[in-house]
Structure 1
Amino acid sequence: MTNYLYQGDLPDDLDLGDTVAIDCETMGLHPHRDRLCVVQLSSGDGNAHLVQIPKGQTEAPNLCRLLEDAKVLKLFHYGRFDIAAMLNAFGATTAPVYCTKIASRLVRTYTDRHGLAKLLQELLSVDISKQQQSSDWGADKLSKAQIDYAASDVLHLHKLRDKLNEMLIREGRMDVAQACYDFLPTRAKLDLLGWPDTDIFAHA
């Protein structure tokens, strides 16, 4: 396994295939207030590619091309936040997408624990550390611990999707899951437009 770190954008010649796992690190949990700091990606081959985003940067052409490529499926865990963070930073709408958290909520109805660490432990027998989750991602230089943590969030999403898909098919919920994934970019836009906590489908 190798972790690659880039500044500002993905390399011009990098091909991550037709299914890419993506995660983001930010300065906090409010996209309008807390800037995007790192975007990490993996093709599922055991390697991770991290893009460090300098403060004030508003363009990342190669990354945005990938986010908007209709032929590339983007895998997330809690994609709602990551999609909104990248849309706010670059103006790029990510699609098509798959979210392991949504899949888990739809099919693992026997528990209310849908965090990535719990999913990986239960379905893949993989343990990851969340110790660096709240560290300073806006630092000029990332520590090895931060890089390793960021990589761990994307290295297993391909296999996790396969396991969750088996469960979704078994329970007959693949179609409704796909409909949720298709709506996810719009849900992220609603968050940015001012409806993060409002169910617009509710009667009152």
Structure 2
Amino acid sequence: MKIYIFSDMEGAAGVEQWDNREDSSYANSVLRRRNQHLLTQELNAAAAGAFNGGADEVVIKMGHADSIVYEELDERVSFIRQGVTWLQGIDEHVDACWFVGVHSRSGTPDGVLSHTWSRKVKAWWVNDVEVGELGICALIAGYYGIPYVFQAGDAAACREAAALIPGLVTASVKKGYGTHSALHLSKERARAL
């Protein structure tokens, strides 16, 4: 069984500040490295769960530029750093799609770092339904006939996904109070989900 995991950084437990990709200051570098480490460990926990559940292959696609610490990744996973398409590498050989580190769509009041593609985009609509990044990922996976079966992220993103995808299993790792504030699970509890 092959599992494809799309990752984003904003939904990981412990992350509630954007790093500035153009800022090379020490403080920003420390923030970025911390966020990368938190996401990488959540991805490792998800991959371990997939392998324990019977997967023989796990592919992780990084969806947030330079958001994974490659040297810390579980040795059993394969990894796509960049791509010319959003879900680069997804095809008919994938059995299920997961999304780890997911955030809610732009404008979600209790969404931590909520946005849709960039902070400049206000909304995406598909067939009169507003969708965020998780909705587009589900749409792309569905195009290939691949079920989107699991996601981990903030509570608002889990609620958003459950409304779009009946039967989706979600793991909420934090509850947002607003864009830059959340009640986070400990890293151990988040990774155990």
Q: Structure 2 length as normaliser, TM-score?
A: 0.30
- Structure holding more strand per residue: 2
Structure whose CA Rg is larger: 1
Q: Structure 1 length as normaliser, TM-score?
A: 0.29
- Structure holding more helix per residue: 1
